[in-house]
Amino acid sequence: MAQVRTEQTKYLLAESELPRRWYNIRADMPNPAQPVLHPGTGEPVGPDDLAPLFPMELILQEVSDEAEIAIPDEILDIYSLWRPTPLFRAHRLEQAIGTRSRIFYKYEGVSPPGSHKPNTAVAQAYYNAKEGRTRLATETGAGQWGSALAFATTLFGLECKVYMVKISYEQKPFRRSLIQAWGATIIASPSEETQSGRAVLEEHPDSPGSLGIAISEAVEDAASREDTAYSLGSVLNHVLLHQTVIGQEAIAQMEQAGAFPDVVIGCVGGGSNFAGLSFPFLREKIAGREIDVLACEPAACPTLTRGVFAYDFGDTSKLTPLTPMHTLGHDFIPAPIHAGGLRYHGVAPLISQLVRDGLVRAEAYLQNDCFASAVEFARHEGIIPAPEAAHAIHGAILTARAADEAGEERTILFNLSGHGHFDMAAYDKYFAGELEDVALDEAEIQRALAAIEGLPAPA
Ligand SMILES: Cc1ncc(COP(=O)(O)O)c(C=O)c1O
């Protein structure tokens, strides 16, 4: 018989406690992120350069130095469909791994599409609709972002076109169905519908696709139509900004639990869920509080741990501005690991700068180890994690074990960014012992990095 617990498991906030402002870390960073550059002129990109792709309110958020930005009521109204999200104490996992540390997790999988992504999708759809755009184009890796944007655009009556990385399109047919159920159009990338897609297919007819290629296709689509804006699910400052409701809620919930984390952990693809949880805590760290902030990435796409900090394009066809970030090079095609949302050659400039400044540290893990931790978690906590979020779980378990070995007790908080209900084929492969661990060759990293030689160097 399981023992009866007296300590609380779930920490919930009332709808009235939903954060009313997003937190903008740019206001507090010790060193500002460097400007994004126009590839033709080498000069910082201005609002007018971005206007064909984004609505003006998002462009202003992208460059804002205000610490807090009010969340419009229309967005709060939609957030209230699933927010505030629950925070759990992982009592059963703690017991199973025999740790003396306390492990908490914030669960973003309760949103209708099943991840943190609608926190920004709803905001982006709102501002686009408000400024008269009628159609959005985007890319998606695992399908989480594409389904979040399809969900958000249908609520605002916008059309939506999703370029889905081909390997995920094949591995995750039900994410495709979700996107269609919410009324969006979806196509496998690289596709024949854009110049960027056709160029890749000509050279590599069997290309599994990558986020870099799919971004090129979506940007090209948006740039070629008046009625269409581009929408990105991660990396950009305004996207990270919208996710900060996660960490603000978590601070209030940790207070309810009478605790404050020593360690804050998230997985990093482009960086949005990690930023969402950690930025409000980093605000406290920058103000002097001691917190270890850990970013977890896949060893097959080790942007923060093995990439370089450089100016690079956000996409494969070099259509985006030059972005100062940790990168593996814009033509790096990550191995087809199952954490599709972590297969991106770059990472958010804000996170890159925080890593440079020593405020955030990063570790890279193999996918079989992450699946092992995800299964351990599922068997004790119940929730089946998305493979991306499995990296954060693995980071939390390793952190607890290291604390036990050092004879320490720590309070650990991680972001469970989504559920894995549409990723069961990946779990099947893991159970069948068919998941490959990709040990990325240094020579491949050097080859890919050659593509950024000659681009401007950051200060
Ligand atoms: C559940 C989940 N977690 C994490 C990520 C990684 O993206 P980001 O680093 O922007 O949070 C994704 C991306 O698709 C995702 O679906």
In the chain, % of residues over pLDDT 70: 99
Element (H, E) at 335: none
Round to whole Å and give the CA distance between 372 and 276: 25
In ligand 1, the atom with minimum distance to the C-alpha of 276 is: 11
Q: Whose CA is nearest to atom 10 of ligand 1?
A: 272
Q: How far, in Å, from the CA of 43 to the mean position of ligand 1?
A: 31
Check pocket membership of 270 for ligand 1, CB cut-off 6 A: yes
- Decide the pairing of beta strands 21-23 and 68-70: antiparallel
Choose one of 144, 171, 244, 246 to mutate for the ligand 1 pocket test, by most ligand atoms within 8 angstroms of C-beta. Answer: 144
Check pocket membership of 168 for ligand 1, CB cut-off 6 A: no
Check pocket membership of 273 for ligand 1, CB cut-off 6 A: yes
Q: Tell whether the model's pLDDT for residue 391 goes beyond 70.
A: yes
Choose one of 85, 107, 108, 115 to mutate for the ligand 1 pocket test, by most ligand atoms within 8 angstroms of C-beta. Answer: 115
Choose one of 267, 268, 354 to mutate for the ligand 1 pocket test, by most ligand atoms within 8 angstroms of C-beta. Answer: 267
- E strand residue ranges, 184-316: 185-189, 228-230, 263-267, 292-298, 308-313
> What's the predicted TM-score (pTM) here?
0.96
Mean pLDDT along residues 388-404: 98
Round to whole Å and give the CA distance between 290 and 308: 27
CB atoms closer than 10 angstroms to residue 193: 15
Q: How far, in Å, from the CA of 374 to the mean position of ligand 1?
A: 15
Q: Which band of pLDDT confidence, cut at 50, 70 and 90, is reported for residue 340?
A: confident
Q: Tell whether the model's pLDDT for residue 346 goes beyond 90.
A: yes
In the chain, % of residues over pLDDT 90: 91
**Mean pLDDT of the residues in the chain:** 96
Q: In DSSP terms, which residues pair with 370 in a beta bridge?
A: none
Round to whole Å and give the CA distance between 266 and 197: 32
What are the pLDDT digits (tens) for 405-431?
Answer: 999 999 999 999 999 999 999 999 999
Q: Which band of pLDDT confidence, cut at 50, 70 and 90, is reported for residue 7?
A: confident
